[in-house]
Structure 1
Amino acid sequence: MTISSGRSRIRSTVIAVTVSALAVVGAAAVISTSTTAGAAVAGVEDEGADCAVNVPSSTTSNAKLPDPFKRIDGTRISTRSDWRCRREEIKKLAERFVYGTKPAKPASVTGTVSSTNITVNVSDQGRSASFSASVSLPGGTGPFPAVFVVGGLGADTATIRAAGVAVINYDPLAVGKEGTGRTNKQGAFYSIYGATSGTGILAAWAWGVSRIIDVIEQSGGSIIKADGLGVTGCSRYGKGAFAIGAFDQRIALTMPIESGSGGVPAMRSIATESGAQPLSSAYSEQPWLGDAFSSFTGNPNALPIDQHSLVAMVAPRGLLIMENPSIAWLGAKSGSVSALAGAEVYKALGVGDAITYWSAVSDGNHCAVRSEWRDPLQKFLKRFLLKTGNDAGVFRIASNAQGSLSQWVDWTTPTLSGSTSGPATSNPPTSSAPTSSVPTSSVPTSSLPTSSVPTSSGPTGSTGACSATYRTVNSWQGGFQGEVTVKAGSAAINGWTVRWTLASGQTIAQLWSGTLTTSGSAVTVKNATWNGSLGASATTTFGFIGNGTASTPTLTCTSP
């Protein structure tokens, strides 16, 4: 999903998610219950794997968000311990109807962890695959907690490292490649499970992070702490971060940013939200979602779950959802609906303050580093990864992107008996909502085109070592997203550099999966630490958000 940058005039609002539940949604208050440092992180990827789940072969229509507390058999859970198997039901339903199956740990997972790199080798069903991720450690003495940054685009890595948390740069495209057909999926996941697998690449990306965690666990924790892991990503990588955190209970803190359709926003609400990316568009833009989701792109009411159920799957672990209300395409209103509904499960489990939702921001640019998010990011890093804080989460919903939970919910939140990771408390956080308007410029609210638009290939570097091909992934008034595919020649390369000249009026706002330098209109992009080594004829990609009008540049590619 790609969208425009822009700003709108917004006023922030703190939305209530109270213990007495749904009747008071919309009041000015904050979430409160448990204020223990951190929340329960399972020692396994899926603690409910032993629960018996009979997934129905057909579904019934329901215009409301399905009750997350109601089992498949129609009964409702009554204790907090019941949540383990109810969560497993939601997981299986999400795999069957939305994401495709995320397989359990393969027969063999091996690898290494160093201060600069993590390698992963996987073997299963007579097939094998390998991939890696680079590591950037903070100052000080380890071992360190760490945050997976999906695709190099997510929460502010400077803030993360300054907090004493390492960054693991995860290349999801090595595990599940974009730009492929549904019958020719590529990447490490599909090397193991087949190119025609019905599993979408979001679940494949989640599988890849789980395998990296396997290796971190095996390493003994001398460099990276296996019990202090977080994940973040923005835009399509925000969709990935959300899936990663939902499906692996070893992730202590999940931080999706501007994830849009197929991410946090409730699908039933997306279908009614003006300007939001249609589900059919999200399904067809890339094979992000599982093949089975094709039956629901025009009929989300038939889904037995919705994305609020995925929010609930993260509970009782930390969840920081960051959204942009200035770009209609992102469906932030539907995101607030999903977060509010999922927060009801957090409350029922006694950890209602382990979730933060923040869309009250002044900078409308897509995937920008925002000052408003720095404080909640620092607080949740301390609480869930460093385990040195107990700050409670808050909901800060922009008034121009505020959903109504009562419109979408016809169930009540039960009082679940039993205990969770810590004692409940009624003490609310003390921060208050800002009350002043944030002056910004207007933003287009019309739907934006999402189909990939191939353009011409760039020339091969003078040595013949590599070539670079450009395409415009998406464009809108005043901006565009470009993608460059780098391909090694007939011999392997170790490092690459792509150069081109910007057209008049163009600038590059953000770039991922590469290292950018500019001098006037001259652009130079060198490989990131994890995608510079390519075998003969192998490819990698980097992408960027540009300001101005899209055009087809002449590219050159060279390798040392």
Structure 2
Amino acid sequence: MRFHRYRPRVWLATIFVALASLAFASLVPEAGAAGSLRTAAATPFADEDDGADCNVQLPGSTPSSSLLPDPFTRIDGTRITSRSDWRCRRAEIRELAERYVYGEKHSAPQSVTGTVSRTGITVNVSDQGRSATFSATVDLPSGTGPFPAVIVYGGFGADTAAIKAAGAAVISYDPYAVGAEGTPRTSKQGAYYSIYGSSSSTGLLMAWAWGVSRIIDVIEQSDGSILRANATGVTGCSRFGKGAFVAGAFDQRIALTMPIESGTGGAPIFRGVPGESGSQPLSSAYSEQPWLGDAFGSYTGNPAGLPVDTHEMVAMIAPRGLFMMENPHVDWLGARSGSVAALGGAEVYKALGVPSNISYWSDVQDGTHCASRSEWRAPLQQSIQTFLLGTGNPPGVFRISSAKAGNLSQWRDWQTPTLTDDGGTAGGTGGEEGDDGGEEGDDGGDEGAVGGGEGDSGGDSGGEGNEGACTASFRTVSSWSGGYQGEVSVRNNGTSALRSWTVGMTLASWQSLTNLWNGVNTGTGGAVTVRNTAWNGTVAAGGSVSFGFVVGGSPTTAPGDLTCTAT
């Protein structure tokens, strides 16, 4: 059972579960006829914690592993098989993250009141016989409203001019009023600690997230004439990027989460930071400020002992909107480990049927920390329009800098299952869609392996090769002036399962392979071969797997001479 805030819902359990299943179903795509995949767009969850009724039993001890934990495997060792299973699996991840990383959130105070005006929000919280008050400022875009809003940590996050131009209000939130920096762990200060005690083991990141949730409480209580209660985003950069990341993970009412350059303690996987040259050490992030919960101190020298990692915090945000922005020019920020977290979490987005709802962008030219970058403006506004205004489609793009490109295949030994809609059995397919999860779209627009958007009409743009039982087909996931992200699907056309496969392809003379996942490559230029990893060589008859990669070099010519051989 949860070690805190188990809500008194037992008497409504049957009704709640039924309603929650219906609500969740409305957020994930319909998997009907080809081409009918529906994007889960601008509808966040009604509750801050949709899985609060899940009976989570945390283990007394957990095994140590240098690889990333499997987000699809429950604490009891069984794997989820349906999309509806994700609700309580997410609750397990949430509990592990609170106990081992961030500390308790205390998400349901006895009383939250306040006001919303065109210029500000006041928040009054009472719980456990104590009270606290804090406020935020509001900057509305042009128009009559009511408006969606993006909560900006410390006024220091995504480009506020771009946010307003997209039609959303900016709520400037001072997280230090809720959890002050510069205080010892035994004497924390701010609104959160005024209520729950200065010696609380909860770190500042979770306290700040609690403050965001209380702002949303007040918006929900307002008359809705100024701000819309069901259309809130959150963003922040650097330490505030850490905060925005945690806020989005721990409040499911947040429709769009946009962390920027969050660094160690934010998005980068804990297991990857020690091996990433120049990145802020875990011990430094823990001691610089009490950002992380007190319990994390036991793992700064042993991240392999953690039963959870940040790719699962990324997954906690699914299926809601997520746009992660990172800076590869500052080693301290650990962008390589950040890309692995994004790639790992994107596997959950894919399994839930919404791969385009997550975007990641670290391929930027300006190395200034927390700069407003032109590369991010279009996907930022597209994300706001999709997830907060309910118009258009999400950017669904992964632009990983070749300088800080992580390789998910080096960090996992688990497969991504094809989750069913009815709770039936679903088989793992090495991280890619299987025969009955399939390739969506009758126009050739296969869903991307790591969250890339729908393919263009016409689909395969690199031709097909057939060397017996398998065929290989290519599609461009995204492209830019200096390269592209591609995906190759390997399909078993035979009547028996494949045991292994190898794909051959030829890159143009001016191009080079800078990153590859879900496969093992030989060569980075000219004739390149890619063979399966240890977990995705087996392909059922009629099934398929995919691998993704990034190629640098302009013009962005697709690879040719695709061949596929298998045993």
The TM-score with structure 2 as length reference comes to 0.70
Matched, 1:433 2:436: no
Partner of 1:134: 137
CA–CA distance in 1 between the matches of 2:133 and 2:422? 41
| 2:242 and 2:267 in contact (8 A); partners too | yes
| 1:33 and 1:351 in contact (8 A); partners too | no
Give how far 1:35 is off: 5.3
| 2:268 and 2:335 in contact (8 A); partners too | yes
Give how far 1:58 is off: 2.1
SS in structure 2 of the partner of residue 391 of structure 1: coil
CA–CA distance in 2 between the matches of 1:140 and 1:41? 24
Q: Relative to structure 1, is the Cα distance of residues 396 and 311 closer, same or farther in structure 2, using a 3 angstrom cutoff?
A: same
The letter for the 1-side match of 2:401 is: A
| 1:34 and 1:353 in contact (8 A); partners too | no
CA deviations over 1:62-111 (Å, ceiling 9, x no partner):
11000000001110101100000000000000000000000122001000
Partner of 1:463: none
Matched, 1:279 2:282: yes
Matched, 1:269 2:272: yes
State which of 189, 194, 197 in structure 2 corresponds to 1:194: 197
Partner of 2:86: 83
| 2:124 and 2:134 in contact (8 A); partners too | yes
Question: 1:455-494 alignment to 2 at 5 Å?
Answer: none
CA–CA distance in 2 between the matches of 1:275 and 1:60? 28
| 1:252 and 1:317 in contact (8 A); partners too | yes
Q: Relative to structure 1, is the Cα distance of residues 137 and 307 closer, same or farther in structure 2, using a 3 angstrom cutoff?
A: same
The letter for the 2-side match of 1:393 is: G
Deviation larger for 402-411 or 382-391 = 382-391
Question: 1:47-62 alignment to 2 at 5 Å?
Answer: 47-62=50-65
CA–CA distance in 1 between the matches of 2:355 and 2:78? 23
Partner of 1:361: 364
Partner of 2:300: 297
CA–CA distance in 2 between the matches of 1:112 and 1:85? 34
Partner of 2:319: 316
Matched, 1:411 2:457: no
SS in structure 2 of the partner of residue 267 of structure 1: coil
Partner of 1:211: 214
Partner of 2:223: 220
CA–CA distance in 2 between the matches of 1:382 and 1:208? 25
Partner of 1:497: none
Q: Relative to structure 1, is the Cα distance of residues 182 and 424 closer, same or farther in structure 2, using a 3 angstrom cutoff?
A: farther
CA deviations over 1:311-342 (Å, ceiling 9, x no partner):
00000000000000001000000000000000
| 1:37 and 1:390 in contact (8 A); partners too | no
| 1:351 and 1:424 in contact (8 A); partners too | no
CA deviations over 1:21-55 (Å, ceiling 9, x no partner):
xxxxxxxxxxx995526154110100000000111
Question: 1:124-273 alignment to 2 at 5 Å?
Answer: 124-273=127-276
Question: 1:38-53 alignment to 2 at 5 Å?
Answer: 38=41, 40-53=43-56
Give how far 1:392 is off: 3.9
CA–CA distance in 2 between the matches of 1:150 and 1:240? 8
CA–CA distance in 2 between the matches of 1:114 and 1:90? 37
State which of 108, 112, 122 in structure 1 corresponds to 2:111: 108
| 1:37 and 1:388 in contact (8 A); partners too | no
CA–CA distance in 1 between the matches of 2:36 and 2:230? 23
CA–CA distance in 1 between the matches of 2:238 and 2:143? 32
Matched, 1:120 2:123: yes
Partner of 1:63: 66
SS in structure 1 of the partner of residue 185 of structure 2: coil
CA–CA distance in 1 between the matches of 2:107 and 2:237? 26
Number of residue-to-residue matches in the alignment: 405
CA–CA distance in 2 between the matches of 1:187 and 1:305? 28
CA–CA distance in 2 between the matches of 1:37 and 1:51? 23
The letter for the 2-side match of 1:434 is: W
The letter for the 2-side match of 1:120 is: V
The letter for the 1-side match of 2:302 is: N
Q: Relative to structure 1, is the Cα distance of residues 34 and 393 closer, same or farther in structure 2, using a 3 angstrom cutoff?
A: farther
Of structures 1 and 2, the one with the larger relative CO (CA 8 A, separation 6+) is 1
CA–CA distance in 2 between the matches of 1:120 and 1:165? 21
Q: Relative to structure 1, is the Cα distance of residues 33 and 209 closer, same or farther in structure 2, using a 3 angstrom cutoff?
A: farther
CA deviations over 1:164-214 (Å, ceiling 9, x no partner):
100000000000000000000000000000000000010000000101100
State which of 365, 386, 393 in structure 2 corresponds to 1:383: 386
Give how far 1:132 is off: 0.4
Give how far 1:432 is off: 3.4
CA–CA distance in 2 between the matches of 1:86 and 1:267? 21
| 1:228 and 1:251 in contact (8 A); partners too | yes
SS in structure 2 of the partner of residue 120 of structure 1: strand
| 2:40 and 2:354 in contact (8 A); partners too | no
Partner of 1:448: none
Identity rate, percent: 68
SS in structure 1 of the partner of residue 217 of structure 2: helix
Matched, 1:397 2:379: no
Q: Relative to structure 1, is the Cα distance of residues 134 and 263 closer, same or farther in structure 2, using a 3 angstrom cutoff?
A: same
Partner of 1:538: none
SS in structure 2 of the partner of residue 363 of structure 1: coil
| 2:398 and 2:478 in contact (8 A); partners too | no
CA–CA distance in 1 between the matches of 2:262 and 2:228? 27
State which of 335, 338, 356 in structure 1 corresponds to 2:341: 338
CA–CA distance in 2 between the matches of 1:183 and 1:355? 38
Q: Relative to structure 1, is the Cα distance of residues 214 and 424 closer, same or farther in structure 2, using a 3 angstrom cutoff?
A: farther
Partner of 1:480: none
CA deviations over 1:385-432 (Å, ceiling 9, x no partner):
011111341100000100011100100000101189xx9944325573
| 1:334 and 1:403 in contact (8 A); partners too | yes
Deviation larger for 385-394 or 334-343 = 385-394
CA deviations over 1:451-499 (Å, ceiling 9, x no partner):
xxxxxxxxxxxxxxxxxxxxxxxxxxxxxxxxxxxxxxxxxxxxxxxxx
CA–CA distance in 2 between the matches of 1:139 and 1:87? 38
| 2:40 and 2:319 in contact (8 A); partners too | no
CA–CA distance in 1 between the matches of 2:192 and 2:323? 28
CA–CA distance in 1 between the matches of 2:311 and 2:148? 28
The letter for the 2-side match of 1:268 is: R
Give how far 1:436 is off: 2.6
The letter for the 2-side match of 1:253 is: L
CA–CA distance in 1 between the matches of 2:140 and 2:417? 43
The letter for the 2-side match of 1:143 is: P
